[in-house]
């Protein structure tokens, strides 16, 4: 079956974009070839592969012809307003369009009526609604009024721009029941924080409405994305629990298979029959087959599952989830047993299995992941090992809590709290793993290279896994390299800002060109800022900004300027030192300047803002843009000045925040929230007498999901833009 599944997959992926005529020709040729092979009694695998290709090609031809010749296309071309009887096939999704919320839902059109035609059919389409529509769940019948347009995808005929809609009938009882359970899961965790409240429903039934962009990005980087959507992992947990209960009740093997099949069907109803869920159900059926027939029977079942799924929905051949799920399942069936056998010669069996399963899945999925994301994760196995103990309790507690919440909400919340605690651990693992500089590396070579390289690596690791000293040493080496990657030189490639370690003072550098930079503040001593600029290769300071006149920001100006060309000095209303022979300008809010690819807007202070004894309050506040990365440089402004800046209605949002006043407690939480930075740098002296940065400031950043670095502990801090993602490299 392996040649049959592989041939079917390749042909299906090609034909869904080739058109119905091509698919029909391929189907006819495959039938002729299969007939010839049958008469000549040729090799069974080749004959079986040809028959499977003929079946999938026929399915493609039929589905594509249905779409290409749909009567809805004539209605769309006429431009007439149409009334449609539709049934929701997938839960709605809310998205932003032109700054306003819109709703997208995939439907099956059962009837279309215009002033000239009345058509009964069964076509797939996507409907767009203005605004948020929350009651569009699978199985619900609706009447829509609007206009049609041809779809850009090959698996549906039209899209629908909805003007009006009204309910026609409720969903069938089984869909209504599944929706009540899903709502129960949401109620059971409603009292939790934002992130665990969003993750638990995703773990239980694939409800991703509460998943934030930060979770999505970090889980992708750490190799935990499969936990957020319904996958084989979720289904395996449900199967394991139900079958364990059945086994403890005395159910025998054949009965266990029946329990497994019923569990799979119930899970599909709960998580919706979307492609990812159907794929997970098929992989679950493979697991049930492996339970009865071993890994060889499981591999055969996997191949049949691939063929059957592609026959039912050929577009799965190009689905990233299908590729990863089938690859991971095959890897576990083929590689996990030999890895486990070698590892259990020197470690407990449970530990060997815990290592072998994610290792086998990750090895087989690596070429596909590199092709899809351009990255190869180095932390996925570690992250999955650490997160795995919490996945099953979170899933089971969330599901049972959802069922109990249907009866009595407080009882459901008890188990929801347990599920939330487990989800919090998973979130901690995901965020921490993604935050490591070497969590993944960019794969620039063709992904096909990995198809050759991965088997070599797999063979090597199989040989080494039976040698504990070598295997453990290799694992520890990778762990150390990920945790503390080798230095890439200084400054690191792609740097967009450096916060210099100048003791209890401030000095920040923004690159302009090779050897040129904008410098914001210079610290109190000459030597530290001179050392920092020299290490960065800065020979020309295009603009020297002195945010305010305090010594810890301006007294090191000679160290910055001597031996370097300075084109312009910018100061605030509190003044600053005179740099001989250099033009000087007093900045005021509303001004902006641009040097090379780096630009900056002056947000504070206004021209008429006098120091009034508090020079911190009139610090120059800049929002700079360096290669698309927004950096907010805040001098020493305190909470009162921060509040006034917010009241001036300027945009303070940024990707990177230079924390005001060395991390003192004089901060306005609303200001930090409005900035919304992903990365913050704190410039403070080691063992300073002020207690900077304060615990309250660090807690404020933590609560808002901002990761911070501090010069007193980390030394010079470089914020780096690499592959569209911010990283931080420090040099103590």
* Start-end of H helices in 524-668: 526-535, 551-554, 557-561, 639-647
112-145 pLDDT, tens digit each: 888 888 888 888 898 988 888 877 777 788 899 9
Whether 406 is in a domain gets the answer no
Same domain for 509 and 533, yes or no, is: yes
Same domain for 18 and 160, yes or no, is: no
410-464 pLDDT, tens digit each: 888 999 999 999 999 999 998 888 877 667 766 767 878 888 898 999 999 888 8
Whether 618 is in a domain gets the answer yes
Contact 419, 350 (CB under 8 A): no
CATH of the domain at 542: 3.60.15.10
Measured CA to CA, the distance from residue 615 to residue 300 in angstroms comes to 75
Please say which residue of 27, 51, 68 terminates a domain: 68
Same domain for 617 and 605, yes or no, is: yes
**Mean pLDDT taken over the chain:** 84
Whether 543 is in a domain gets the answer yes
Same domain for 7 and 134, yes or no, is: no
Q: Would you state the pLDDT for residue 95? A: 74
Pull the structure tokens for residue 237.
Answer: 């947990």
Residue 707 is part of which domain span?
Answer: 495-731
Q: State pTM to two decimals.
A: 0.63
Non-local (6+) Cβ contacts of 513 within 8 A are 596
pLDDT along the chain (732 residues), means of 10: 88 88 92 84 78 92 88 85 88 69 86 87 88 78 89 84 79 72 87 88 79 79 73 65 76 71 72 63 61 59 83 84 78 86 88 84 83 76 84 85 85 90 92 76 76 90 87 80 66 91 94 93 93 93 93 93 93 88 91 90 84 81 94 93 91 94 92 92 89 89 88 91 84 76
DSSP codes joined into one string, 164-193: EEEEEEPPPHHHHHHHHHHHHHHHHTTTS-
Q: Give the chain's end-to-end CA distance (angstroms, integer).
A: 58
Same domain for 574 and 612, yes or no, is: yes
Q: Would you state the pLDDT for residue 139? A: 78
Half-sphere exposure of 56 (CA within 13 A, CB side): 31
For residue 620, the SS3 value is: coil
Measured CA to CA, the distance from residue 541 to residue 568 in angstroms comes to 8
Whether 487 is in a domain gets the answer no
Other Cβ atoms within 10 Å of 652 Cβ, number: 22
Residues shown for the chain: 732
Domain count within the chain: 3
Same domain for 57 and 110, yes or no, is: no
Same domain for 511 and 538, yes or no, is: yes
> In whole angstroms, how large is the CA radius of gyration of the chain?
31
Please say which residue of 116, 146, 171 terminates a domain: 171
């Amino acid at each position: 079956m392996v040649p049959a599944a592989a041939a079917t997959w390749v042909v299906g992926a090609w034909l869904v974009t080739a058109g119905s005529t091509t698919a029909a020709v391929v189907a006819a040729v495959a039938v002729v070839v299969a007939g010839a092979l049958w008469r000549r009694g040729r090799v069974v695998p080749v004959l079986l592969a040809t028959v499977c290709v003929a079946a999938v090609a026929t399915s493609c031809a039929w589905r594509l012809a249905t779409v290409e010749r749909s009567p809805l296309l004539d209605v769309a071309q006429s431009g007439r307003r149409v009334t449609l009887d539709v049934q929701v096939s997938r839960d709605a999704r809310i998205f932003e369009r032109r700054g306003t919320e819109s709703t997208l839902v995939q439907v099956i059109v059962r009837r279309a009526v215009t002033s000239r035609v009345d058509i009964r059919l069964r076509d797939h389409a996507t409907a767009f609604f203005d605004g948020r529509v929350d009651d569009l769940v699978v199985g619900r019948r609706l009447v829509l009024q609007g206009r049609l347009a041809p779809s850009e995808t090959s698996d549906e005929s039209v899209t629908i721009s909805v003007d009006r809609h009204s309910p026609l009938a409720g969903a069938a009882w089984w869909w209504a029941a599944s929706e009540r359970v899903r709502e129960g899961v949401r109620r059971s965790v409603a009292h939790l924080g934002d992130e665990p409240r969003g993750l638990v429903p995703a773990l239980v039934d694939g409800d991703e409405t509460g998943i934030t962009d930060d979770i999505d990005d970090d889980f992708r980087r750490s190799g935990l994305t499969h936990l957020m959507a319904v996958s084989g992992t979720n289904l395996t947990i449900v199967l394991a629990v139900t079958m364990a209960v059945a086994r403890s009740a005395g159910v025998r093997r054949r009965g266990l298979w029946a329990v497994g099949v019923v569990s799979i069907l119930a899970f599909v109803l709960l998580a919706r029959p979307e492609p990812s869920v159907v794929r997970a159900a098929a992989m679950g059926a493979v697991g049930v087959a492996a339970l009865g027939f071993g890994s060889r029977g499981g591999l055969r079942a996997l191949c049949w599952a691939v063929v059957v799924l592609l026959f039912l929905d050929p577009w799965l051949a190009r689905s990233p989830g299908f590729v990863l799920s089938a690859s991971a399942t095959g890897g576990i069936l083929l590689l996990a047993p030999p890895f486990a056998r070698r590892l259990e010669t020197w470690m407990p069996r449970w530990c060997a299995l815990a290592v072998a399963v994610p290792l086998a899945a990750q090895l087989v999925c690596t070429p596909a992941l590199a092709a899809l994301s351009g990255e190869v994760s180095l932390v996925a196995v570690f992250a999955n090992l650490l997160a795995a103990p919490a996945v099953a309790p979170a899933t089971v507690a969330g599901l049972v809590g959802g069922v109990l919440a249907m009866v009595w909400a407080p009882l459901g919340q008890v188990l929801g709290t347990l599920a939330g605690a487990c989800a919090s651990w998973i979130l901690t693992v995901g965020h921490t793993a993604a935050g490591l500089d070497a969590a993944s590396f960019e794969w620039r070579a063709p992904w096909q290279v990995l198809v050759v390289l991965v088997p070599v690596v797999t063979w090597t690791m199989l040989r080494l896994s039976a040698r504990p000293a070598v295997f453990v040493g290799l694992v520890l080496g990778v762990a150390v390299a990920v945790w503390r990657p080798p230095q890439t030189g200084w400054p690191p490639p792609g740097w967009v800002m450096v916060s210099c370690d100048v003791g209890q003072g401030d000095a920040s550098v923004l690159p302009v060109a090779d050897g040129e930079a904008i410098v914001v503040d210079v610290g109190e001593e000459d030597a530290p800022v001179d050392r920092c600029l020299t290490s960065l290769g800065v020979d020309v300071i295009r603009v020297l900004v002195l945010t305010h006149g305090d010594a810890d920001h301006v007294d090191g100006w000679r160290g910055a300027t001597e031996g370097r060309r300075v084109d312009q000095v910018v100061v605030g209303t509190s003044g600053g030192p005179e740099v001989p022979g250099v033009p000087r300008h007093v900045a005021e809010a509303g001004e902006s300047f641009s040097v090379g690819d780096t630009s900056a807007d002056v947000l504070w202070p206004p021209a008429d803002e006098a120091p009034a004894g508090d020079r911190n309050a009139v610090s120059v506040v800049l929002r700079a843009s360096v290669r698309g990365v927004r950096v907010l440089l805040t001098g020493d402004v305190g909470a009162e000045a921060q509040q006034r800046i917010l009241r001036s209605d300027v945009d303070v949002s940024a990707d990177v925040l230079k924390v005001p006043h060395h991390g003192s407690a004089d901060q306005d939480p609303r200001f930090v929230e409005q900035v919304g930075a992903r990365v913050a740098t704190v410039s403070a002296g080691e063992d300073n007498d002020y207690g900077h940065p304060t615990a309250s400031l660090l807690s404020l950043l933590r609560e808002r999901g901002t990761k911070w670095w501090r010069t007193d502990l980390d030394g010079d801090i470089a914020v780096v833009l690499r592959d569209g993602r911010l990283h931080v490299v420090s040099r103590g």
